[in-house]
């Protein structure tokens, strides 16, 4: 391939790699069912250049194990076309996944020299560090308005903001950090063993150290429990496999990985001791358990329309964090009016707490209750509400109901009913953040679906659209997957298609571990392998392939791994 023909596709790949965290929230164009973002535009450019810069006879082909991916791809499309529901969604998601597979093959065409792979790794790391820095600034100083170009809003868990940066969700941020953190080790090792003079190496190594500490700190601030565990497990796994051959080279590299794992543990423990956020996260349990309140109010009330009645109410904070009625997302006592059909009527009511309410504390209040504008017998549902986040009753399943009798006083004329107030954070009287089932519930539902459709599955990406029916819920979060990489594949394409994918994945893992045993393994090979292992370890608790930032990162790492193997004359 001519030199210019090598560099033009590579530049497109570098642009794609560095832009993965910065996908615009609004598409650049919409063509039929397809939406095109800046990242997808760069992806199309990179793929086009990769396969047109050289004739097919010069294309680099992956190894034998990839036949399983071909089988998986065919089964993926068949499963989508025969999906019992949402076939269009499944087909669209399947094509997106196959585009990622194509990207992995395209990387082989663009990464023809070791330095090409290093540049791609540094582009990925640079984008990740910049995104983490943006997220850290927001945690310290509040949300940045311009970041709304890339995401809806910052991720929260309970009252706590999670480091999100320009990613859609904090777990994506955590996964991106986990998968690119190994390149910090590779960069430090490369500098340390270079022939550069000490006055150049020392400040560079100090910069690498600061980057490692900052990147790990950003990972902790995502408040992802799986992220901390993944980093430590992968570091230990890579260190052990590097040390087993008992070569000086392998042992030296193993010490670097052990150092990274130890640093991750120290930062996480320190953060847990000094702040409440990570301590609560590490205590386990579903976040819904944090939203526990007991409200004691009169069982019945009689009130004249257009009047105000003082009502005694006792509220106990049975959750895990203090309630504050100030700030961007205040926690207040709320109430909603419902008619006999269970439909919301009239405006919602709010009463801020006069002071913070600590976990376990009980407060007694006398509240001014505005009467309904017309006579009738509505129900008043008392509950605590975390504005822009959730009603506590939606999380706990418990509300306090007062049966109200509204009567018309002599000389009064009923006014027409006022519709429910709908603000930015509400729709049909409910906050936009819908309750999310626990992981064990999602896994149980996923296994049920596998048993019901074991061969073809339900279609890729269809679990999130169908699990709510099994919970008899119309108010379920349709962005939630099975929270398990492997189960999601089996649910989506059944045992045959999922088995083909898992066979290929198993071959990849075996190849990574075998390569780490090689006496001449390079630090860059180890770093790419560690990034892939991070995906597979974290995959037991999450699913990332359908988000461009993390899904394309996975396939980029796969392509880098195979290209490294190709450059060393052995492939999978």
The DSSP string of 228-242 is HHHHHHHHHHHHHHH
Of the candidate ranges 125-134, 280-289, 420-429, the one whose mean pLDDT is the lowest: 420-429
Question: What would the two tokens of residue 531 be?
Answer: 């990034």
Output 357-361 pairs: Cβ under 8 A, ≥24 positions apart. Answer: 357/315, 357/317, 357/322, 357/323, 358/317, 358/322, 359/317, 359/318, 359/319, 359/320, 359/321, 359/322, 360/316, 360/317, 360/318, 361/316, 361/317
Q: Quick check: 428 pLDDT over 50?
A: no
Q: Is the pLDDT of residue 381 over 90?
A: yes
Is the Cβ–Cβ distance between 504 and 72 less than 8 Å? yes
pLDDT interval class at 285 (50, 70, 90): low
Helix (H) or strand (E) holding 139: helix 114-141
Alpha helix ranges (H) inside 420-479: 439-452, 463-470
Min mean pLDDT across 25-39, 427-441, 454-468, 554-568 is at: 427-441
pLDDT at 11 over 70: yes
In three-state secondary structure terms, 399 is: coil
pLDDT tens, position by position, 445-481: 999 999 999 999 999 999 999 998 888 776 678 889 9
pLDDT of residue 469: 87
Least confident of 4-13, 70-79, 106-115, 450-459: 4-13
Please, which contacts does 90-95 make with residues 24 or more away whose CB atoms are closer than 8 Å? 90/458, 90/459, 90/460, 90/461, 90/462, 90/492, 91/459, 92/33, 92/34, 92/461, 93/459, 93/460, 93/461, 93/546, 94/459, 94/460
Least confident residue range of 22-26, 482-486, 556-560, 566-570: 566-570
- pLDDT digits over 312-362, tens only? 999 999 988 889 998 878 999 999 999 888 888 888 999 999 999 998 999
User: What pLDDT shows up at residue 430?
Assistant: 41
142: tokens are 């509040």
| CB 116, CB 564: distance < 8 Å | no
Question: Is residue 423 over pLDDT 70?
Answer: no
Question: Average of pLDDT values for 59-76?
Answer: 87
The whole-number pLDDT of residue 427 equals: 35
Residue 537 has pLDDT above 70, yes or no: yes
The answer to whether residue 230 scores a pLDDT higher than 70 is: yes
What's residue 398's pLDDT?
86
pLDDT at 1: 44
The alpha carbon dihedral of 517, 518, 520, 524 has a sign of: negative
Q: Would you state the pLDDT for residue 435?
A: 64
By the 8 A CB rule, do 13 and 48 touch?
Answer: no
At a CB cut-off of 8 Å and minimum separation 6, what does 563 contact?
60, 107, 108, 111, 112, 116, 117
Residue 474 has φ and ψ, to the nearest 5°, of -100, -5
The encoded tokens of residue 128 equal 């990740």
How far apart CA 571 and CA 261 sit, in angstroms, is 29
- pLDDT for 114 beyond 90: no
| Confidence class for position 2, pLDDT limits 50, 70, 90 | very low
Q: Are 382 and 341 in contact (CB under 8 A)?
A: no
- Give me the pLDDT at residue 253, please: 93
- Domains annotated on the chain, with CATH: 3-282+461-567 (no CATH), 291-431 (2.60.40.10)
Which pLDDT does position 284 carry in this prediction? 60
**Terminus-to-terminus CA distance in the chain, angstroms?**
24
Give the separation between CA 381 and CA 379, rounded to whole angstroms.
6
Contact by Cβ (8 Å): 173, 149:
no
User: Residue 45 pLDDT more than 60?
Assistant: yes
């Amino acid at each position: 391939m001519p030199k210019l023909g090598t560099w033009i596709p590579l530049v497109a790949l570098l642009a794609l790699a560095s832009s993965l965290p910065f996908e615009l929230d609004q598409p650049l164009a919409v063509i039929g069912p397809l939406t095109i973002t800046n990242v997808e535009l760069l992806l199309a450019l990179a793929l086009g250049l990769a396969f047109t810069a050289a004739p097919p006879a010069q294309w680099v082909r992956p190894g034998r194990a990839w036949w399983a991916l071909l089988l998986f791809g065919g089964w993926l499309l068949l499963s989508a076309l025969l999906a019992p529901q949402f076939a269009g969604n499944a087909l669209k998601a399947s094509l997106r996944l196959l585009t990622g597979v194509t990207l992995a093959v395209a990387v082989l065409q663009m990464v023809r020299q070791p330095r090409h792979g290093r540049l791609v790794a540094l582009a990925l790391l640079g984008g990740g560090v910049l995104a983490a820095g943006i997220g850290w600034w927001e945690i310290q100083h509040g949300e940045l308005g311009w970041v709304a170009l890339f995401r809806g809003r910052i991720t929260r868990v309970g009252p706590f903001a999670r480091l999100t940066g320009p990613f859609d969700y904090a777990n994506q941020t955590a996964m991106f950090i986990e998968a690119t953190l190994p390149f910090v080790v590779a960069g430090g090792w490369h500098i340390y063993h270079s022939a550069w003079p000490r006055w150049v190496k020392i400040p560079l190594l100090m910069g690498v150290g600061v980057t490692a500490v900052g990147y790990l700190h950003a990972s902790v601030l995502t408040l992802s429990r799986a992220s901390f565990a993944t980093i430590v497990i992968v570091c230990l796994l890579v260190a052990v496999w590097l040390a087993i051959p008992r070569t000086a080279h392998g042992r030296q590299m193993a010490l670097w990985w052990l150092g990274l794992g130890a640093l991750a543990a120290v930062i996480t423990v320190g953060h847990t001791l000094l702040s409440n956020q990570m301590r609560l996260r590490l205590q386990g349990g579903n976040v819904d358990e944090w939203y526990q309140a007991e409200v004691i109010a009169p069982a019945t009330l009689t009130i004249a329309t257009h009047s105000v009645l003082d009502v005694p109410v006792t509220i106990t904070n049975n959750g895990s964090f203090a309630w504050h009625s100030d700030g961007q997302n205040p926690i207040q006592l709320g109430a909603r009016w419902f008619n006999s059909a269970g439909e919301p009527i009239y405006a919602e009511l709010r009463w801020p707490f006069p002071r913070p309410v600590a976990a376990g504390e009980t407060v007694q209040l006398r509240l001014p209750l505005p009467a309904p504008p017309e006579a009738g017998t509505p129900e008043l549902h008392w509950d605590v509400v975390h504005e822009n986040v959730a009603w506590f009753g939606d999380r706990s399943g418990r509300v306090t109901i007062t049966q109200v009798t509204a009567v018309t006083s002599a000389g009064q004329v009923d006014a027409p009913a006022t519709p429910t107030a709908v603000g930015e954070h509400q729709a049909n009287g409910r906050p936009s953040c819908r309750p999310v089932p626990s992981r064990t519930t999602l896994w149980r539902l996923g296994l049920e679906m596998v048993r019901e459709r074991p061969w073809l599955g339900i279609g890729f990406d269809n679990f999130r659209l169908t699990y709510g029916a099994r919970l008899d819920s119309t108010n379920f979060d349709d962005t939630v997957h099975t929270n398990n990489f492997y189960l999601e594949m089996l649910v989506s394409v059944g045992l045959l298609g999922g088995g083909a994918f898992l066979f290929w994945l198993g071959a990849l893992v075996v190849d990574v571990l075998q390569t780490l045993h090689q006496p001449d393994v390079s630090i860059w090979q180890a770093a790419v392998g560690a990034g892939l292992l991070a995906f597979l370890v974290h995959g037991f608790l999450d699913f990332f392939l359908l988000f461009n930032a993390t899904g394309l990162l996975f396939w980029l790492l796969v392509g880098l791994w195979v290209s490294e193997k190709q450059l060393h004359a052995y492939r999978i």
